[in-house]
Structure 1
């Protein structure tokens, strides 16, 4: 791309013509550390609460379906508003929106920890997710400005992807330690001092934003895509309560389809779309985002179900449940570090397919765990295989999504992959949690004991996550490289 003839989009949106790139920091690696710390918090908060769910559910009077919404209430506004957050950052400044989003995230975290009712907690989680939707795309834009050279940017994006993957796994361990030692409120309060550190450090490392870029905000596009996501998750969640054929379920499904169609039509006709649809002509980007959508669905549902299974079925306390997931987290971190070497030897596509197949195998193994499972016999082996598969799949799916993307579109590609992960997580959890609850109810009706019935429900959920991983492997396996894509395996 010739930067003199085409604007440089650095977020999940098309940028109008603006000023040329400027140096934002003389300490860019230190600035990247601060940005990555903020990204770590954003991803961590989708998983850290999992271990605390049974405890806070007892104290706030929330049943299993309501507990699933503690996760969904965060993931849904995060995924649904990411694209609008990027557009706002383009208009009003990346540094400014990053700081606004971080401040909102810190405030909402404090309110979540102070919650005395389930409704208050869900409201605080929704504000957390909306704030994260401002923070994350702005951070990606700042990253692309800090590292304009393709080689340095690839390293920075690799660190970014590794931090996101590690944050998902580390959340369950940290959540167990905090819940056992300080109570469930600590999983939210921990964000406050870290967020304040980010708010203090970043203005010292990154220069002020240039003048705002004029342009019209695509609010119709943002409204329709957010409404479509809310309706889709609502339809999936209502299946467990009222059934497939209930007017509420059907009405929400129709609304989701109609709003999704409206979004596509709006984006095709508007001069400044929220998502320029032409970017999906890059087959690598499209395939990578579809794989990440499926991987996000599997990841969020897995960490939710595994945390509840260990405590509600096997009787682990919060600390033991967190420590029991240390092998999974350790395997993920180790493979995340080795993934670049694996890609260099095998290529992105083979590494991704192999990782997803390993993930599916581990999930199928876990689905066979009984209600009286022994950790060493039934949990440890699947956890290690799942961690290896997750670590390789997350990094290589991110790599595939930016394969062949020109330097000026790196921010756009990064924003889309983040959105795909969050949307997949919201939809996957809603679908599989409803499936698990329905299976548990059927087993209880048939006379199964409480632990056996719960185990049967979780088994179906783990089978569902394995199915997502297998479909992802199929998508990656048949993906054709774009003609202009040239994967640099040695990078």
Structure 2
């Protein structure tokens, strides 16, 4: 039985009885897919520190500077579900390679940009490429490894590198901008994308689809426009406050369009997202846990960046380097998460990770106004990174378990959409909460308390509503549902 056939059989039975060791080809497949996902995660944060420098270099008006990040986030999150389903229908490998080619070319264009319009266009195409490559790469990962220990290990490494990539982006952006130029934050993608494009076709195999179902264009239009409106509304809330007209208008439009999307999917013969999938508790509550995990951690990184630069007066580079300990915590969390899942189950892992993240986050309320508090920040962010990664890996395993191969692109598209919406929501939500208070220090403290409350809420909903199957122990390994 081939690896793909084994994965399909496991998906039907829910039992992980596949091989527990990686052969040479699978190791290369895993490395190629992880490098691509790491690069995409880096892109989410690599320009954050460099925004003021880019604005000065290209003549961006201060009021439009945020569009360098927003244009990317809108496309990366808004089109993810659509591209995840396109990958199922027309080929994950093909979409993965095409998206990487677009990412490499748009990164080159961004590095060579001579005007604001050219840079924004490059960021739009980077976002579209990310929306295509991320779910296609994740579905290739889940269909290349059968449910059970191998898939849990692969998703654990993927989750660790995704989170570490976000932290690495903040550090790398500061280093490249200080030592070379902000343009290298774009150029660095080009050789990585080229290397993956050269290696991937030789090791990643996928059979051509035997049929070509129709793409649900009404559903695709409704969900894409709904997500774009929702994410744009969140960015408006971060800029103008949650009670502002633009924020409420865009958020309201997004909610209406997503309700329309659900109604369309309930009636169409070949839906973009079958309602039966959305009603699966593992899909629904797994994605809810993932949304909270990404929202709270990226929001906390923003708050601690604000604390380091505005309260402790750290430079952008020093602030970025301070998150290295958080990155180490996420790598460790991603490495141990598959073992925790195998020893217990995904629900226990999600709850344990959430509790650890909550305790670590609330500890940050004790930060003072001198650098003497750095020991607390480093310990808390390290522990929080471990806990957050337990949740992220638990979410990925939960949200993609029990679905057949032909729905893995959909499952990973939903999971990727969850990830990117969470990343996009974190900063504006925490920024708006922090801005309610008159003082920076008081605002950060309030936002940290709210961040902790959101983590606790996510942990409680997981404990109360998520149900997982018993742990399967077979002769060739251990698999947690």
Does 458-467 or 103-112 show the bigger shift?
A: 458-467
Taking the aligned partners of 2:284 and 2:457, their CA distance within structure 1 comes to 15
Does 269-278 or 179-188 show the bigger shift?
A: 179-188
Shift of 1:184: 2.6
Taking the aligned partners of 2:345 and 2:206, their CA distance within structure 1 comes to 40
Alignment match, 2:367: 369
Alignment match, 1:113: 111
Taking the aligned partners of 2:220 and 2:397, their CA distance within structure 1 comes to 27
Alignment match, 1:449: none
Shift of 1:191: 0.9
CA distance change for structure 1 residues 233 and 9 in 2, over 3 Å: closer, same or farther? Answer: farther
Taking the aligned partners of 1:353 and 1:63, their CA distance within structure 2 comes to 45
TM-score between both structures, scaled by the size of structure 2: 0.84
Cα deviation, 1:19-39, whole Å, max 9, x if unaligned, reads: xxxxxx993331221122111
Shift of 1:293: 1.0
CA distance change for structure 1 residues 211 and 248 in 2, over 3 Å: closer, same or farther? Answer: closer
Contact between 2:96 and 2:137, CA under 8 Å: does it hold in 1? Answer: yes
Cα deviation, 1:346-389, whole Å, max 9, x if unaligned, reads: 54323322221222232233344344444534422322222222
Taking the aligned partners of 2:401 and 2:208, their CA distance within structure 1 comes to 30
Alignment match, 1:419: 417
Contact between 1:348 and 1:396, CA under 8 Å: does it hold in 2? Answer: yes
Shift of 1:228: 1.5
Contact between 1:232 and 1:256, CA under 8 Å: does it hold in 2? Answer: yes
Contact between 1:50 and 1:308, CA under 8 Å: does it hold in 2? Answer: no
Alignment match, 2:177: 179
Contact between 1:95 and 1:208, CA under 8 Å: does it hold in 2? Answer: yes
Taking the aligned partners of 1:412 and 1:87, their CA distance within structure 2 comes to 5
Does 34-43 or 50-59 show the bigger shift?
A: 50-59
Taking the aligned partners of 1:304 and 1:116, their CA distance within structure 2 comes to 29
Alignment match, 2:20: none
Is the aligned partner of 1:467 residue 2:453? yes
Taking the aligned partners of 2:339 and 2:386, their CA distance within structure 1 comes to 14
CA distance change for structure 1 residues 309 and 127 in 2, over 3 Å: closer, same or farther? Answer: farther
Cα RMSD (Å):
3.2
Cα deviation, 1:126-165, whole Å, max 9, x if unaligned, reads: 2211111111222233334433575544443333333323
Alignment match, 2:134: 136
Is the aligned partner of 1:231 residue 2:229? yes
CA distance change for structure 1 residues 148 and 284 in 2, over 3 Å: closer, same or farther? Answer: closer
TM-score between both structures, scaled by the size of structure 1: 0.82
List gaps (5 residues or longer) in structure 2: 1-7, 11-22
Alignment match, 2:4: none
Shift of 1:313: 4.2
Is the aligned partner of 1:390 residue 2:376? no
Alignment match, 2:463: 477
Contact between 2:84 and 2:410, CA under 8 Å: does it hold in 1? Answer: no
SS of corresponding position for 1:284: helix
Is the aligned partner of 1:341 residue 2:327? no
CA distance change for structure 1 residues 374 and 54 in 2, over 3 Å: closer, same or farther? Answer: farther
Cα deviation, 1:379-425, whole Å, max 9, x if unaligned, reads: 22322222222222222222332354456644443332222111222
Shift of 1:240: 5.4
SS of corresponding position for 1:45: helix
Contact between 2:160 and 2:330, CA under 8 Å: does it hold in 1? Answer: no
Alignment match, 2:17: none
Cα deviation, 1:31-63, whole Å, max 9, x if unaligned, reads: 221122111111221133333345445555668
Contact between 2:106 and 2:122, CA under 8 Å: does it hold in 1? Answer: yes
Contact between 1:355 and 1:388, CA under 8 Å: does it hold in 2? Answer: yes
Contact between 2:88 and 2:410, CA under 8 Å: does it hold in 1? Answer: no
Shift of 1:478: 0.9
Does 408-417 or 228-237 show the bigger shift?
A: 408-417
Cα deviation, 1:454-478, whole Å, max 9, x if unaligned, reads: 4444444433432321221112121
Contact between 1:49 and 1:187, CA under 8 Å: does it hold in 2? Answer: yes
Contact between 1:108 and 1:127, CA under 8 Å: does it hold in 2? Answer: yes
Contact between 2:82 and 2:220, CA under 8 Å: does it hold in 1? Answer: yes
List gaps (5 residues or longer) in structure 1: 1-7, 11-24, 444-452
Q: How does 1:55-454 map to 2 (within 5 A)?
A: 55-56=53-54, 59=57, 69-116=67-114, 118=116, 120-147=118-145, 152-207=150-205, 210=208, 213-239=211-237, 242=240, 244-374=242-372, 376-405=374-403, 409-436=407-434, 438-439=435-436, 443=438, 453-454=439-440
Alignment match, 1:13: none
Taking the aligned partners of 2:381 and 2:79, their CA distance within structure 1 comes to 33
CA distance change for structure 1 residues 99 and 9 in 2, over 3 Å: closer, same or farther? Answer: farther
Shift of 1:190: 1.1
* Count of aligned positions: 457
Taking the aligned partners of 2:277 and 2:266, their CA distance within structure 1 comes to 12
CA distance change for structure 1 residues 198 and 212 in 2, over 3 Å: closer, same or farther? Answer: farther
Q: How does 1:18-57 map to 2 (within 5 A)?
A: 27-56=25-54
Taking the aligned partners of 1:307 and 1:223, their CA distance within structure 2 comes to 37
